[in-house]
Homo-oligomer: A and B are copies of this chain.
Amino acid sequence: MDLWKNYSNEQLLNLKESCGKAYAELKARGLKLDMSRGKPSPDILDMSNGLLGTLSSPISEDGTDARNYGVPTGLAECRRLFSELLGIPEGLIIIGNNASLELMHNFYSRLYLFGTLGNEPWSKLNSVKFLCPSPGYDRHFAVSNAFGTEMIPVTMTEDGPDMDEVEDLVREDDSVKGIWCVPLYSNPQGVVYSDETVRRLAQMKTRAKDFRIFWDNAYGLHHVFGENSIADIFKSAAETGNEDRIYYFFSTSKITFPGGGIGLAAASPANIAEQCKHISVQTIGYDKLNQLRFVRYFKTAENIRRHMSAIGDMLRPKFEIVLNMLESELGGTGLVTWIRPKGGYFIGVDTMEGCAKAVVALAKEAGATLTNAGATFPRGVDPKDTSIRIAPTYPAQDELSSAMRLFCLCVKLVSIDKILSERSA
């Protein structure tokens, strides 16, 4: 297609009329479509229904009664299974309850309350800043926001956060204390951090001694288009003695069940020792029966990978609906750009400047809910108002097609008004 900004006013008004008619027709259908949250669909959840079955024995391999108190870092066989899956020594893994977000929040909270490894608690400092590659995960930013951390947006590229920006920010300023990262299939763009990005994050010089990378490997096994992988950040950090810089998180929320999965954290020996000390004050142990259910059901890392490959097969057609529709309806128009995601749970679309909110509002009016425009930026403010997150995993394929048809119409309608209003201005 041609660049719409080169169209005449008349051409645009004609397009506006035909799109407006199509929009009205869709709206009249009283659709109720949701592309707002990264939730697994019921058929994906069904893939793990074996976990709802009977737990034949509550006794773990070393004789621990999983029904009783104790073992705050998790059952040995559960730590070993995740060690095998993630390539992290089992002694450096802590198995939590269902939400890795809760683990991140707790680690973050301890930095404020107690400080880490002899450094001042952040609650005692006048200024604490955190780097927020944007667009990014809204719930990460919500944690920083709740603690009153100053959030500094960092540009996202196809290789991850813009590392020149990051290195500039951390080099001289002691109050820049950390960064949020979703290194594999970033939320929402599905970007895979390059080896060079991982290396620079791990090895860069930071003024703050207690700089922490919150490495949320949320989509570590969520391959959609090929099995991509990231470099081992622990190994890279160890080369320059920075292994304490990394807080690693993972969860099975989108492998099994968000409402009953397993979250985990991993870190250096010094960090894990410190966290264990804190955890032992907070709980006598997380839910060990859930750990046992997971291990008994999957047995091996290979089985988990196979399971995720099957889930990838279910997600791929949904991603293709979105990407094909974007390409066929908006490709070449210059109205939107997007990075083709390599996997994960989302597709990030950028509109023309100042259009994202209007597109989301117009779609909502016709019954399609998208993530709030701006939600993927710190404090929900996208300065250019261009970023929209599409979550294709929950709706059924036919609903997704309708929703995307509607979305593309909304982009066109809002963009036409934008172009026309700029010309008349």
Query: What residues of chain A have their CB less than 8 Å away from a CB belonging to chain B?
Result: 37, 39-40, 42, 45, 48-49, 52-56, 58, 65-71, 97-99, 101-102, 105-106, 109, 112-114, 121, 123, 139, 142-143, 145-147, 253, 257-260, 278, 281-290
Asked if B285 and A258 sit within 8 Å, CB to CB, the answer is yes
Q: Contacts A52-B54, A112-B113, A260-B289: A99 and B284 contacting too (C-beta < 8 A)?
A: yes
Can you report 10 A-B residue pairs in the complex whose CB atoms are below 8 A from each other?
Answer: A39-B68, A39-B69, A67-B259, A69-B258, A71-B259, A98-B287, A102-B283, A121-B123, A146-B281, A258-B285
User: Closest residue to A58 on the B side, CB-wise?
Assistant: B52
Q: Whole-angstrom distance between the alpha carbons of A336 and B425 in the complex?
A: 92
Given contacts A45-B65, A102-B283, 6 further A-B contacts (CB under 8 A): A37-B69, A45-B68, A68-B257, A97-B286, A99-B285, A260-B287
One of B139, B259, B278, B289 near A285 (C-beta < 8 A): B259
6 closest pairs, A vs B, by CB?
A260-B289, A67-B257, A259-B288, A69-B258, A99-B283, A105-B282
Q: Whole-angstrom distance between the alpha carbons of A327 and B338 in the complex?
A: 80
Asked if B113 and A147 sit within 8 Å, CB to CB, the answer is yes
Q: Contacts A70-B259, A258-B285, A287-B260: A65 and B42 contacting too (C-beta < 8 A)?
A: yes
- CB-defined contacts of A39 to chain B, threshold 8 Å: 68-69
Asked if B287 and A97 sit within 8 Å, CB to CB, the answer is yes
- CB-defined contacts of A139 to chain B, threshold 8 Å: 281, 284
Asked if A105 and B283 sit within 8 Å, CB to CB, the answer is yes
Query: Whole-angstrom distance from the CB of A398 to the nearest CB of chain B?
Result: 20
Interface-central residue, A71, A123, A282, A284, by most chain B CB under 10 Å: A282
Query: Whole-angstrom distance from the CB of A286 to the nearest CB of chain B?
Result: 7
- CB-defined contacts of A65 to chain B, threshold 8 Å: 42, 45, 259
Q: Whole-angstrom distance between the alpha carbons of A55 and B53 in the complex?
A: 6
One of B66, B113, B286 near A113 (C-beta < 8 A): B113
- CB-defined contacts of A37 to chain B, threshold 8 Å: 69
Q: Whole-angstrom distance between the alpha carbons of A257 and B288 in the complex?
A: 10
Query: Whole-angstrom distance from the CB of A112 to the nearest CB of chain B?
Result: 6
- CB-defined contacts of A68 to chain B, threshold 8 Å: 39-40, 45, 257-259
One of B105, B113, B121, B260 near A67 (C-beta < 8 A): B260
Query: Whole-angstrom distance from the CB of A383 to the nearest CB of chain B?
Result: 23
Asked if A55 and B55 sit within 8 Å, CB to CB, the answer is no
Asked if B101 and A284 sit within 8 Å, CB to CB, the answer is yes
User: Closest residue to A71 on the B side, CB-wise?
Assistant: B259
- CB-defined contacts of A257 to chain B, threshold 8 Å: 58, 67-68, 289
Q: Whole-angstrom distance between the alpha carbons of A142 and B282 in the complex?
A: 9
Q: Contacts A68-B258, A113-B123, A259-B66: A143 and B289 contacting too (C-beta < 8 A)?
A: no
Q: Whole-angstrom distance between the alpha carbons of A146 and B69 in the complex?
A: 21
